[in-house]
Amino acid sequence: EPEVTQTPSHQVTQMGQEVILRCVPISNHLYFYWYRQILGQKVEFLVSFYNNEISEKSEIFDDQFSVERPDGSNFTLKIRSTKLEDSAMYFCASSLWTGQETQYFGPGTRLLVL
Amino acid sequence: SQQGEEDPQALSIQEGENATMNCSYKTSINNLQWYRQNSGRGLVHLILIRSNEREKHSGRLRVTLDTSKKSSSLLITASRAADTASYFCATANFGNEKLTFGTGTRLTIIP
C-alpha cells in the first residue's frame, strides 16, 4: 500500500541553524501539507501546497519557513534559522484531490533544537 | 472549548470491552476524520465521515456524527491490546484545506 515517507526520522540541530525536512508524498496525490506537534500538544497545521504554490498557511508559518517541491517526488520544509520553540514532531501529509479528502500522514521527523 | 476536543482525555478498559471516545467541535464542517497515534509515532488514518453522513463502519470501528450537536463519537468494539494508542479527531471546514485536530484521547487496553 502506498505511503508517505519522511526523512530523517530524527534531527538534532543548534539554534540558528537551517534545517530541511524531506517528504515523499503518495505518488498520485496532488495536495501536500506540513503539520507539527509539539510534545504533549495538539497537531497543528502549518501549510498546504498545490500546483507548485502555497494554497493556505497558518500564523505559525512565518518568514522562517518555506516549502518547495524540487522535483516530481519530493516535498520539503525548510526552517531558515531554528529556534528552541521549533522543537517538535513534523508531519508531512498528502491527499489525492482537494483538501477535503482523506489526508495520509507520514511517520514524522522529530526535530530537536538545542 | 476549542475546535475538536475529545473526551475523555484518558480511558482505560479491559481487553475485549468496547471503547467509546467523543469529539466536539464549534464550526460547521465538511468532514471529520479520526486518526490513531501510537506513542511518539505517526498518525494513522482510521475513518472519514462527511457532514451529510450520520454513521460509518469500518471493521471494529463505528463512527457517528451529529452535526446539530457538533459532535462525533468513535466506538472500538472488542478492544485488543494493540488498540492502545492516542485517538484524535480532526475537522475539515468548507473552503479551506487544513485539518484542525483535537486534543486526543489516550486509550489503554489492559490485557
pLDDT-based confidence at B4, cuts 50/70/90? low
The Cα diameter of chain A in Å comes to 38
For B98, the closest of A48, A91, A108 (CB atoms) is A48
Residue of A32, A54, A100, A101 to mutate for B, most B C-beta atoms under 10 A? A100
Q: Give the model's confidence band at A97: pLDDT under 50 very low, under 70 low, under 90 confident, else very high.
A: confident
The cell 483538501 sits on which residue?
A99
How high is the pLDDT of residue B7?
Answer: 79
Cβ–Cβ under 8 Å, residues B101 and A42: yes
Cβ atoms within 10 Å of A74's Cβ, excluding its own: 13
Percentage of residues of chain A with pLDDT beyond 90: 82
The residue among A98, B103, A72, A82 whose CA lies nearest residue A109 is: A82
Mean pLDDT for chain A overall: 93
pLDDT, tens only, A33-74:
999 999 888 999 999 999 999 999 999 999 999 999 988 789
Average pLDDT over residues A66-85: 94
The pLDDT of residue B96 is 75
Q: What percent of chain B has pLDDT over 70?
A: 96
The predicted-structure confidence for B34-45, as pLDDT tens digits, reads as follows 999 988 788 999
**Which has more confidence, B28 or A20?**
A20
pLDDT at position B5 over 80: no
pLDDT, tens digit, for every residue of B58-96?
999 999 999 999 999 999 999 999 999 999 999 998 877
CB atoms within 10 A of CB B103: 18
What is the distance between the alpha carbons of residues A110 and B3, in angstroms, rounded to a whole number? 25
State residue B3's pLDDT score. Answer: 56
The mean pLDDT of A3-8, rounded to a whole number, is: 95
% of chain B at pLDDT higher than 90: 74
Would you call B4 helix, strand, or coil by DSSP? Answer: coil
Rounded distance, CA A23 to CA A70, Å?
11
Query: Between chains, do A100 and B41 touch, taking CB under 8 Å as contact?
Result: no
Q: What is the pLDDT of residue A107?
A: 94
Question: Does the bond joining A8 to the residue before it have cis omega, within 30 degrees of 0?
Answer: yes
- Rounded CA-CA distance A57/A80 in Å is 17
CB within 8 Å: A45 and B35 = no
Distance CA A34, CA A47 (A): 5
B90 and A43: CB-CB below 8 Å?
yes
Is residue B30 within 8 Å of residue B93, measured between CB atoms?
Answer: yes
